[in-house]
Amino acid sequence: MRGGETSHGGARVLIVEDDSETRLALRRALAARGYTIDVAPDGRSALRRWDARRPDVILLDLGLPDIDGLELIRRVRREAATPIVILSGRDDERQKVEALDRGADDYVTKPFGIDELVARLNAALRRSAGPAADPQGQVVIGSLRFDPTTRTVDVAGAPVDLTHREFELLRVLLANAGRLVTKAALLRAVWGTAYTREDAYVYVHVGQLRRKLSAADPGGSLASLIVTEPGIGYRVRSLEPHQP
Q: Is residue 3 part of a domain?
A: no
CA 197 – CA 206 distance, rounded (Å): 16
DSSP state, residue 62: S
User: 112-144 b/e with 16+ CB inside 10 Å = b?
Assistant: eeeeebeebbbbbbbbbbbebbeeebbbebbbb
Are 151 and 122 part of one and the same domain? no
Burial label, 230 (beta-carbon count in 10 A; 0-12, 13-18, 19+): exposed
Nearest to 119 by CA among 61, 33, 50: 33
Q: What is the pLDDT at residue 177?
A: 87
pLDDT in tens, 105-116: 999 988 889 999
Q: What is the pLDDT at residue 117?
A: 93
- CATH number of the domain encompassing residue 208: 1.10.10.10
Q: What is the pLDDT at residue 240?
A: 56
Q: What is the pLDDT at residue 132?
A: 83
Q: Which of 64, 95, 128 marks a domain boundary?
A: 128
Please state the domain count of the chain: 2
**pLDDT < 50: residue spans in the chain:** 1-8, 243
Q: Is residue 5 part of a domain?
A: no
Q: What is the pLDDT at residue 5?
A: 42
Neighbouring C-beta atoms of residue 53, cutoff 10 Å:
14
Q: What is the pLDDT at residue 44?
A: 94
Are 156 and 123 part of one and the same domain? no
Q: Is residue 6 part of a domain?
A: no
| Domain extent for 174 | 139-236
Q: Is residue 241 part of a domain?
A: no
Are 20 and 102 part of one and the same domain? yes
Q: Is residue 243 part of a domain?
A: no
pLDDT in tens, 149-195: 888 999 999 999 999 899 999 999 999 988 999 999 999 889 887 77
Q: What is the pLDDT at residue 96?
A: 83
